Amino acid sequence: MIKKIGGFLEEHVEKIILIIVGLLCSWLLITRVLLTPNVVEYDGKNFSPGYLDVQILEDVKEKIKKNESELFDIIPPDKRNYSLLFENPLEDTDFIALSKPVKPKKDPNTSYPEPDINKIKVTNAAVEYIRSVVYEPIEEITKSKPYQNGNSEPNDLDFITVSGNIDIKSIVDEFNKCYNNGEMADPCKAKPIFAQVNLQRQRLISDGQWSDWENVPRTQIDYNRKLFKVVENFSDLPLGGLEVYKFQLNHTITQLELLQPEPYQIASANEEWLPPELHKDFVEALKKDSKKEEATNSTTSSDTRRKRGGNTLNTGGVGSTSTNSGSRGGGSRRSGNSANYNTNANTTRRNRGSTTNETTTNNTTTQDELYVDQVYDVYESIILTNTTDFKKISEPILFWAHDDTAQPDNTYRYRVRVGLLNPTAQNENDEIIFWSSFSDVTDEVDIPGKIYFFAGEVQEAAKTVSVSVYKLHLGYWYKKVYDRVAQGEMIGGLAEVEPKESDDTLTSDSISDFDEMETIDFTTGAVMVDVVRVSEWAGSSSMNPVPYHNMMYTYDGEEILQMPATARPNLQIWPSELYHAYNFVQSHLNDKYEALKSWGNSTVDIEQARSGQQNNRRTRR
C-alpha cells in the first residue's frame, strides 16, 4: 500500500506542486488584496486602496454639484497654460517654495551699447556669370545627405557669383568697444558671429524699368540654406529660438560656409569656378596658356625637323622643355615670371612638394609654371581656413554668395551685405541682426536663352513654314529643322541628333562619349498660328518696299507674337535682338566637343583648400 502511494506521488509530483502553488496564490489574493488588512484613513473613514480612489471621485462629483469646485482649483486640461509649466515645472508643489522666474529687463544705465555696423560698407563688389554643365543634385540636400555624396547628374546651369570685401578689423573693433570694455566687459559677447550674407537682385522688366529688390535664396547644394535664410524678426528664427540659433552659428566651419560657400561641381571640360575677379583672370590665363602651348609645339616641331636633317641646334641658353599638360588643365607651362600677382606663386607650389620642370644651362635657371596655376595660388591664399582668427586679420576679407535661380532671357543686377548676430538680443523688441551697408550695385548680367527658333521658308499655299530650333544641351548647341510646321502645331519636340564628335582620346577622369544617337527635347512651347505676307519699307539712300512673310505664333493662346520668316538672316527686317541671337547660336554651333569631367575632378576644391590639404593640380592635368 505504501509503495503504491509512493509511486503515485512520484508520478504526479509536478501536478501536486502546481496545485499547492495555485492554492497559495489564491490565499494571498484573497487575504492580501481583496481582504487586505492595509487601510487608509480618509474623511474619518477607513478605506482599502482599491476603494479609496472610488470614494475620492464620488466626493469630487458631489462637490461639483454643490458649486464647490473652487475649493479644488480644478482646471480643465484644454485651458491650462502649459508654457508656464516649462518656465517653472515645480511651481505648484507643496514641498518647495519657488518664485516664478522673471526675465531680465534692460537697464539703460547698465546695458551694452550697440555696435554701429551699418557704417561699415561692403566694398569692391563684383559679379561673374558662368554658364556651364554642372552636377545638379537629384534629391534634396541635407546635412545627412550632403552634396559631396555625389548623388547628382550633369545638367546645364546659369550660375552667378557676387563677391565683396568686408573690413573685419572694423567689425572686431566695434564689438570690442561695446562688449569688451569697462566693468561689464565680456569677451564672449565681443566675438563677432556672422549670421547672414544677404544677396539681393533686381530684374529688368519689359518696360525698361527695374523690379523691386528681392532676396536671393541660398543654393540648392547648401545644406545650411534654412539656417542661413534672412532673419528679420523673432518669428523668422529657426526651431529652438535665439539661443539655439546662436549655438548653431557659433561654429568655425559654419562661419566659413556662410562667408565662402562652395560652388557646384563643374563638369564642363575647360571651365572652373572661381570668385568673380579671379575667374576673369582665369579665362585670360587659359588664353595665354593656349598660345604658349601652340608656340611650344611649333618650336618643338622645328627642333625635331632640324635634328632629323642632321643639324644640331645650339641656342646657348635655356633648352626646350617638354610638357605633359592635358587640355582640361588649361594649357601649357611657361618660362619666366610674367604673372600679374605678387604672391610668391613660384615658391608656394614647390614648398608643397609638387613637381616642376627646370632646366639649367650656363648657370641660368628658369621655372616652368602655368599661368592658370598662378590664379589658383591667389585663390588658395584668400580662402578662409579652420585656423582663421577674425581678431587677428587686419585686411578686409573676401566673401561671396551664389545665385542658381537666374532664368534665361533675363537681365539682373545685384547688391550684397553681411549681418552680424546681436549677442545681447533677448526679446522681440531687440534687433537680432546688425547689418552692414549694402555694396554698390553690380554690373548688369545678361542671361541668354537656352532655346531659340527662327522661321525660314514659307509655303504660302499650304500655310506652313520651316522652323530651325537651336537647343543648348550639356554645354553644346544642337540644331533641328522642322520643315513643315502647320497652323495649330507645336514648334519643336523630341528629336534624335548625332552626338558631337571629339578628337580627344577619353581618359579615366571623363565621362564616356555618346555611343548612340542623342535624344534632345527641342520643344519650344510655342504654337504656330499663321503666316502673313507683309511689305516693309527699307533702304539706306532710297526707301524701297521689301516683301516678306511674318510667322504668327503664341505661347499662351492669348498674346500673338510675330517673327519675320526668311530663308536667310536679313538685317533689314530682323529685329536687332533676333539677329544677335542668331549670330550667338551660330557661333557656338560648331564648338569643338570635349568629354565632361567626372565628379570630383575639378581642380578648384574649396573644401580641400579650406582644410589646408595639398591639391596636386599637375597630376590632375
Each residue's pLDDT tens digit, 378-404: 898 899 988 888 888 989 999 999 999
Give the residue, 501 or 492, on which the prediction is more confident.
Answer: 492
Compare 9 and 259 and report the one with higher pLDDT: 259
Strand arrangement, sheet containing 152-166: 123-137, 152-166, 397-403
Q: Residue 613: its pLDDT value, please?
A: 61
In a domain, 335, yes or no: no
Same domain? For 133 and 255 the reply is yes
Same domain, 525 and 569: yes
Do 433 and 486 sit in the same domain of this protein? no
Q: Say what the pLDDT of residue 460 is.
A: 86
pLDDT over 60 at 163, yes or no: yes
Q: What is the pLDDT of residue 101?
A: 43
Most confident of the ranges 122-126, 203-207, 322-326? 122-126
- The pLDDT of 33-59, averaged and rounded, is 74
Same domain, 408 and 497: no
What is the dihedral angle through the alpha carbons of 448, 449, 451, 455, rounded to the nearest 10 degrees? -80
Tell me what pLDDT residue 37 has. Answer: 62
Domain assignment of residue 235, yes or no: yes
Residue 157 near residue 402, CB atoms below 8 Å: no
Please check whether residues 208 and 229 belong to one and the same domain: yes
Q: In whole angstroms, what is the distance from residue 275 CA to residue 17 CA? A: 87
Predicted local confidence at residue 502, as pLDDT: 65
Q: Has residue 99 been placed in a domain?
A: no
Do the domain assignments include residue 301? no
- Domain presence at residue 170: yes
Query: pTM value?
Result: 0.68
39-43, 170-174, 455-459, 489-493: lowest mean pLDDT where? 39-43
Q: How confident is the model at residue 110 (pLDDT cuts 50, 70, 90)?
A: low
Name the least confident of 142-146, 220-224, 355-359, 590-594.
Answer: 355-359
Task: Read off the pLDDT band of 17 (50, 70, 90).
Answer: confident
Report the alpha-carbon distance of residue 147 to residue 265 in Å, rounded: 9
Residue 541 and residue 423 share a domain:
no
At 559-585, the pLDDT tens digits run: 999 999 988 887 778 888 999 999 999
Cβ pair 454, 582 in contact under 8 A: yes
Shared domain check, 488 and 443: no
How high is the pLDDT of residue 95? 42
Is 156 within a domain?
yes
Whether pLDDT at 334 is above 70: no
User: Does 164 share its domain with 34?
Assistant: no
Q: Which domain holds residue 223?
A: 117-260+384-447
Domain count, the chain: 3
Length of the chain: 621
The H or E element containing residue 165 is strand 152-166
Lowest mean pLDDT among 150-159, 212-221, 281-290, 359-368: 359-368
CB neighbourhood size of 605 (10 A): 17
Contact in structure between 366 and 338 (CB atoms under 8 Å): no
pLDDT band at 489 (very low <50, low <70, confident <90, very high): very high
The per-residue pLDDT of the chain, averaged, comes to 77
Tell me, yes or no, whether 573 and 460 share the same domain: yes
- Per-state percent for the chain, helix, strand, coil, to nearest 5: 30, 25, 45
pLDDT bucket at 270, cuts 50 / 70 / 90: confident
Helix (H) or strand (E) holding 479: strand 476-485
Is 545 found in the same domain as 504? Answer: yes
Same domain, 61 and 130: no
Q: Which of 83-87, 112-116, 226-230 has the lowest mean pLDDT?
A: 83-87
Q: Which pLDDT value is given to residue 418?
A: 97
In this structure, are 413 and 466 located in the same domain? no
Reported as a pLDDT band with limits 50, 70 and 90, residue 156 is: very high
pLDDT winner (highest mean) among 98-102, 242-246, 510-514: 242-246
pLDDT at 13: 80
CA distances from 49 to 35, 55, 360 (A): 11, 10, 103
At residue 62, the pLDDT reads 77
The reported pLDDT for the residue numbered 85 is 57
The verdict on residue 294 lying in a domain is: no
Q: Mean pLDDT, to the nearest integer, of 130-158?
A: 92
pLDDT beyond 90 at 440: yes
